[in-house]
Amino acid sequence: MAALGAIDAFLAAASRACCSPLAIFLQIQGCCICLFLAIGWSFAAHVRGGVIKRLKHNIDGGNSFGFICDDINELEHSAQVNLPRVSVVMPLKGFGEHNLQNWRSQITSLYGGPLEFLFVVESINDPAYPAVSMLISEFKDSVDAKIVIAGLSTTCSQKIHNQLVGVEKMHKDSKYVLFLDDDVRLHPGTIGALTSEMEKNPKIFIQTGYPLDLPSGSLGSYCIYEYHMPCSMGFATGGKTFFLWGGCMMMHAEDFRKDSYGVVTGLRDGGYSDDMTLAAIAGTNFMFLANFLNNRHFFFQYSIFCHLKMMEEYSLDVCLLTKCPRCRFLAQ
């Protein structure tokens, strides 16, 4: 009986504590937060549903390339022939299980303008070298791609060193340079979407992308998913952002040729993080950073950068993407 009396006393004290003004305030705050998250989730679901419906409508209407653009006339030769040249620089280090699939998705872009791919490694002893060589030989007749040997870095991180060497080797007529990490699998319309936004607004200093992690259902995958979700808040700003993701950054090639705003020197002399360094340069010079999610159409259609390494380690998969016909290439 004494034990039951102690339990009753504890429950009574807990009940009084839960009815205190502070406890009621915390409960109301929690309910408001949950309501806000639920509204946001519902809105996101509505946006995704609208995009899927529009894609299906385009496909049913005869536009088999609706996963790239709504207006199929944009794919006419007369429109594609005037697209600017883009150089894609990919700093590599090591070779993982999914790297080859990632690289294949990157070089098989459906961008219609002149396009070159520069795979930059430290040396021929890098495990990525033979794999990239095999990939380039596979697509040698259809893709302009080559390997660049950067050598060891002495003044900055190896990744930044590889990026800068890649920029030095890019085509002299390239208007834009796109930096991509080797651990993402790319949507075929991404390069075209990035270039289109840069052409629409020449004031953009850097155009950045958005990484998307897809949990498979395991507790570990959801924990990583929830950990990364707050990072996306910096990109949900209507196109303008103060944040960069180093895995996908498009810039004006001329900024590197002329070292505008100290871009090259800032990265080369002690640069450790490419995205943080460039964000600091942009902030100092009041330059315009943009993410290409400023259009709801882009959010679901183009912002696909799947982290395959995380998929392997935390049982993340792409099942949600492969339900949509435009993303089935991700599962190949």
Each residue of 110-156: pLDDT tens digit?
A: 888 899 999 999 999 999 999 999 999 988 888 899 999 999 999 99
Tell me which residue of 205, 232, 242, 203 sits closest to 293, measured CA to CA: 232
pLDDT greater than 60 at residue 267:
yes
**What pLDDT score was predicted for residue 288?**
61
**What pLDDT score was predicted for residue 115?**
92
Binned at pLDDT 50, 70 and 90, residue 235 comes out as low
| Amino acid symbol at 171 | H
**What pLDDT score was predicted for residue 19?**
83
Q: In terms of DSSP bridges, do strands 144-149 and 176-180 run parallel, antiparallel, or are they unpaired?
A: unpaired
pLDDT greater than 80 at residue 256:
yes
- Asked if 307 and 213 count as a contact pair (C-beta separation under 8 A), the reply is yes
Which residues, in sequence order, are CB contacts of 164 under 8 Å at separation 6+?
A: 156, 256, 264, 267, 268
The angle, 0 to 180 degrees and rounded to 10, between the axes of the packed helices 274-284 and 158-169 is: 70
Largest CA distance in the chain: 90
**What pLDDT score was predicted for residue 76?**
72
**3 state SS of 210:** coil
**How many whole angstroms separate alpha carbon 296 and alpha carbon 223?**
27
- Asked if 291 and 241 count as a contact pair (C-beta separation under 8 A), the reply is yes
**What pLDDT score was predicted for residue 301?**
36
N-term to C-term CA, the chain? 67
**What pLDDT score was predicted for residue 203?**
86
**What pLDDT score was predicted for residue 302?**
38
* Stronger pLDDT, 188 or 2, i.e. the higher one: 188
Token readout for 110 is 């459906």
**What pLDDT score was predicted for residue 99?**
81
Binned at pLDDT 50, 70 and 90, residue 216 comes out as low
Q: In terms of DSSP bridges, do strands 248-252 and 204-208 run parallel, antiparallel, or are they unpaired?
A: antiparallel
Cα separation values, 114 from 6, 60, 83, 221, Å: 79, 30, 7, 39
**How many whole angstroms separate alpha carbon 65 and alpha carbon 18?**
58
206-224 residues labelled b (16+ CB within 10 A) or e (exposed) = bbbbbbbbbbbeeeebeeb
User: Which residue blocks in 81-127 are alpha helix, DSSP H?
Assistant: 99-107
* Stronger pLDDT, 20 or 222, i.e. the higher one: 20
